[in-house]
Amino acid sequence: MEKLVERFIKYVKINTQSDEKSDQCPTNPSELELAKLLAKELKGIGLEEVEVDDNSYLMATLPANTNKAVPIIGFIAHLDTSPDSTAENINPIVFENYFGKNLVLNKKKNITLSPRDFPALNHYIGQPLITTDGTTLLGADNKAGIAEIITAMETLKNNPEIKHGKIRIAFTPDEEIGRGADKFDVKKFGVDFAYTIDGGPIGELEYENFNGARARINIQGLNVHPGTAKHKMKNSMHIAFELESMLPHNEKPEYTEAYEGFYHMTEFNGTVDTTNFSYIIRDHDKAEFAKKKDLLIKIVDHLNIKYGTGTVKLTLVDQYYNMREKIEPVFHIIELALKAMKAAGVTPKVKPIRGGTDGARLSYMGLPCPNVSSGGHNFHSRFEYIPIPSMEKAVQVIVKIAELNAKK
| CA angle in degrees (0–180, nearest 5) for 211-19-182 | 50
Q: Give start and end residues of each alpha helix (H) in 195-247.
A: 236-246
Rounded mean pLDDT of 24-47?
98
Instruction: State the CB neighbour count (10 A cutoff) for residue 316.
Output: 15
Comparing C-alpha atoms, which of 288, 327, 295, 297 is closest to residue 210?
288
What proportion of the chain, given as a percentage, has pLDDT over 70? 100
> Looking at residue 355, what is its pLDDT?
81
Predicted TM-score (pTM) of this structure: 0.89
Task: Please name which of 65, 159, 58, 189 lies closest in space to residue 395, comparing C-alpha atoms.
Answer: 159
Query: Does pLDDT of 363 surpass 80?
Result: yes
125-157 pLDDT, tens digit each: 999 999 999 999 999 999 999 999 999 999 999
Q: What architecture is domain 211-320?
A: 2-Layer Sandwich (3.30)
Contacts of residue 18, Cβ cutoff 8 Å, sequence gap at least 6: 26, 27, 28, 31, 80, 81, 82, 83, 173, 174, 175, 176, 177, 179
Model pLDDT for residues 60-112, shown as the tens digit of each residue: 999 999 999 999 999 999 999 999 889 999 999 999 999 999 999 999 999 99
Ordered DSSP codes for 297-324: HHHHHHHHHHH-TTSEEEEEEEEE--TH
Dist. CA 25–CA 27, nearest whole Å:
5
Backbone torsions φ then ψ of 170, nearest 5 degrees: -145, 140
**313 Cβ contact list (under 8 Å, min separation 6):** 217, 218, 219, 220
- Classify residue 407 by burial, with Cβ atoms within 10 Å: 0-12, 13-18, 19+: exposed
| Each residue's pLDDT tens digit, 2-30 | 899 999 999 999 999 999 899 999 999 99
The residues, ordered by sequence, that sit 6+ positions from 106 with a Cβ below 8 Å of its Cβ are: 133, 134, 135
103: which strand partners?
113
pLDDT band with cut points at 50, 70 and 90 for residue 199: confident
* Backbone φ, ψ for residue 76 (5° rounding): -130, 140
In a 3-state reduction of DSSP, which class is residue 230? coil
pLDDT score of 178: 86
Report, as residue numbers or ranges, the catalytic residues.
Answer: 80, 175
Q: Is the pLDDT score of 55 beyond 80?
A: yes
Rounded Cα gap, residues 387 and 8, in angstroms:
12
Question: Shortest CA distance to 5 belongs to which of 389, 346, 341?
Answer: 389
273-287 pLDDT tens trace: 999 999 999 999 999
Burial (CB count within 10 angstroms: exposed 0-12, middle 13-18, buried 19+), residue 160? exposed
Residue 89, preceding peptide bond in cis (omega within 30° of 0): no
What pLDDT is recorded for position 202? 97
> Given a cut of 80, is residue 356 above it in pLDDT?
no
Q: Does the pLDDT at position 304 exceed 90?
A: yes
* CA 161 to centroid of chain Cα atoms: 34
Q: Output phi, psi for 33, to 5 deg.
A: -60, -45
How far is the C-alpha of 302 from the C-alpha of 9, rounded, in Å?
Answer: 52
pLDDT at residue 16, as a whole number: 98
- Average pLDDT of the residues of the chain: 96
Q: Which amino acid is at 281?
A: I
Nearest residue to 168 via CA among 153, 156, 181, 158 = 153
CA-based end-to-end distance of the chain:
28
Residue pair 169/176 in contact (Cβ under 8 Å)? The answer is: no
CATH 3.90.1150.10 fits 2-209+322-405, yes or no: no
The answer to whether 387 touches 375, Cβ cutoff 8 Å, is yes
Residue 201 pLDDT class (50, 70, 90 cuts): very high
- For the cut 80, the answer to whether the pLDDT of residue 408 exceeds it is no
Say yes or no to pLDDT of 1 above 80: no
Domain ranges of the chain: 2-209+322-405, 211-320
Element (H, E) at 113: strand 111-113
